């Protein structure tokens, strides 16, 4: 993703001036092939808007999406769907209740005219088996299935095109706790088997801890920290990442990060705070923080005057 931004105009009436909401603010992010990039942040931080841009469901206001170095953002939704497929949070509302599972899973093949009817049917059977559903599931309707089974259907549909990137937007948060681990393990197994690449969106750091190779943390439309799972979980540098870890996980003994009580006090995104947007909640804010917006910086690079390295952590904080 190259310098992606998305600004919405919110309806103004006679009495109110129209406002703008910058849901995604100059986001650049590289998702390496064959890896899982976790994208975390509180609800409303822009993660789902980012997903919609990648799926061609909403155009960006600025910036590009590149796959293998080629910009595809101006391609239509159908062209994007060849490369990028989604698995959404609610497997019920994302599956057509009036279609049989075979039709649902085979839809991408029909849209793109891939294979004969017989080949498409064989592919559907193969996918259902891969996601652990019995053959008879093909003739069922979504309403006859459990939430976990429906999410397996959604996974089969997403993977039938062997997409370059799979966007998993909170794929387990609507499921029973007992089923969540099964679905996460299935996603990991399929990733290993087919060398898939995931952008895994979650508000819950504990979920991504087990599957992400890299993590990007978003706050009010911006990436504030990005690094490997190890860098983020053992040495978080941004105060917001530290706060997320403190509130989401049993803190590592000795990590000593303050719990700043996230959940309350998220600012109105139509009027983001000046400078560093995190400053009203930041336990180490200084006067400079409300004036200057920190850039997402490769800390090692600025110390060593070298070039940006893909494995270096990037942080947007004046005092990280």
Interaction site with ligand SF4 (CB under 6 A) = 238-239, 276, 278-279, 282, 284-285, 289, 294, 317-319
Among 47-55, 149-157, 207-215, 269-277, the segment contacting Mg ion (CB under 5 A) = 47-55
The residue from 48, 149, 172, 202 that contacts Mg ion (CB under 5 A) is: 48
> Residue 281 has what DSSP assignment?
G
Total Cβ atoms within 10 A of residue 100? 16
**Closer of 285 and 296 to ligand SF4 (Cβ):** 285
**Closer of 144 and 286 to ligand SF4 (Cβ):** 286
Among 43-51, 133-141, 239-247, 279-287, the segment contacting Mg ion (CB under 5 A) = 43-51
Residue 48 contact among Mg ion, ligand SF4, none, beta carbon within 5 to 8 Å by kind: Mg ion
CB of 203 to ligand SF4, least distance (A): 19
**Closer of 14 and 303 to ligand SF4 (Cβ):** 303
CB of 238 to Mg ion, least distance (A): 21
CB of 273 to ligand SF4, least distance (A): 9
Residue 154 contact among Mg ion, ligand SF4, none, beta carbon within 5 to 8 Å by kind: none
Of the candidates 153, 166, 229, the residue with the CA atom closest to the CA atom of residue 200: 166
Q: Would you call 165 helix, strand, or coil by DSSP?
A: strand
**Closer of 233 and 240 to ligand SF4 (Cβ):** 240
Q: Would you call 66 helix, strand, or coil by DSSP?
A: strand
E strands within the chain? 2-10, 19-27, 36-40, 62-64, 66-67, 70-71, 84-87, 165-169, 198-202, 214-219, 222-228, 297-298, 314-315
**Closer of 52 and 318 to ligand SF4 (Cβ):** 318
The rounded distance, in Å, linking the Cα atoms of 132 and 105 is 14
Cα angle value 274/279/285 (rounded, 5°) = 125
The rounded distance, in Å, linking the Cα atoms of 106 and 120 is 6
**Closer of 97 and 258 to ligand SF4 (Cβ):** 258
Q: Which long-range contacts (CB under 8 A, 24 or more apart) does 189-196 make?
A: 190/130, 190/131, 190/155, 190/159, 191/34, 191/36, 194/159, 194/162, 195/33, 195/34, 196/34, 196/159, 196/163, 196/166
Q: What's the chain's Rg over C-alpha atoms?
A: 21
CB of 319 to ligand SF4, least distance (A): 4
96: which 2 tokens?
Answer: 């057509």
Check residue 241 for interaction with Mg ion (CB under 5 A).
no
Task: Determine the length of the chain.
Answer: 320
CB of 27 to ligand SF4, least distance (A): 17
CB of 221 to ligand SF4, least distance (A): 15
Size of the site for Mg ion (CB under 5 A): 1
Residue 196 contact among Mg ion, ligand SF4, none, beta carbon within 5 to 8 Å by kind: none
**Closer of 168 and 320 to ligand SF4 (Cβ):** 320
CB of 21 to Mg ion, least distance (A): 15
In the complex, the residues that contact Mg ion under the rule CB under 5 A are 48
């Amino acid at each position: 993703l190259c310098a992606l931004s998305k600004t919405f105009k919110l309806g103004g009436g006679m009495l109110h001036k129209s406002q703008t909401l910058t849901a995604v603010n100059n986001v650049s992010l590289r998702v390496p092939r064959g890896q899982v990039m976790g994208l975390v942040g509180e609800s409303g931080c822009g993660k789902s808007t980012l997903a919609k841009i990648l799926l061609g469901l909403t155009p960006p206001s600025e910036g590009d999406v590149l796959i293998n170095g080629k910009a595809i953002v101006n391609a239509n939704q159908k062209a994007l769907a060849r490369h990028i497929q989604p698995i959404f949070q609610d497997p019920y509302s994302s599956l057509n209740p009036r279609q049989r599972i075979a039709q649902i899973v085979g839809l991408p093949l029909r849209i793109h005219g891939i294979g004969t009817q017989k080949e498409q049917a064989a592919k559907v059977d193969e996918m259902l088996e891969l996601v652990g559903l019995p053959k008879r599931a093909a003739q069922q309707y979504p309403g006859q299935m459990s939430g976990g089974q429906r999410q397996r259907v959604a996974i089969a549909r997403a993977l039938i095109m062997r997409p370059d990137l799979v966007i998993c937007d909170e794929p387990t948060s609507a499921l029973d706790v007992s089923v969540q681990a099964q679905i996460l393990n299935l996603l990991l197994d399929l990733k290993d088997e087919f060398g898939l690449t995931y952008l895994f969106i979650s508000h819950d750091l504990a979920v991504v801890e087990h599957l992400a190779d890299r993590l990007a943390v978003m706050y009010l439309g911006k990436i504030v920290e990005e690094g490997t799972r190890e860098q983020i979980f053992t040495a978080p540098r941004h105060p917001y990442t530290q706060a997320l870890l403190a509130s989401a996980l049993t803190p590592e003994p000795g990590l000593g990060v303050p719990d700043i009580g996230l959940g309350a006090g998220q600012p109105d995104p139509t009027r983001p705070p000046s400078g560093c947007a995190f400053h009203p909640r930041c336990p180490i804010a200084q006067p400079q923080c409300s004036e200057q917006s920190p850039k997402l910086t490769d800390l090692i690079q600025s110390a060593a005057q070298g070039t940006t390295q893909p494995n270096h952590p990037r942080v947007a904080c004046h005092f990280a």
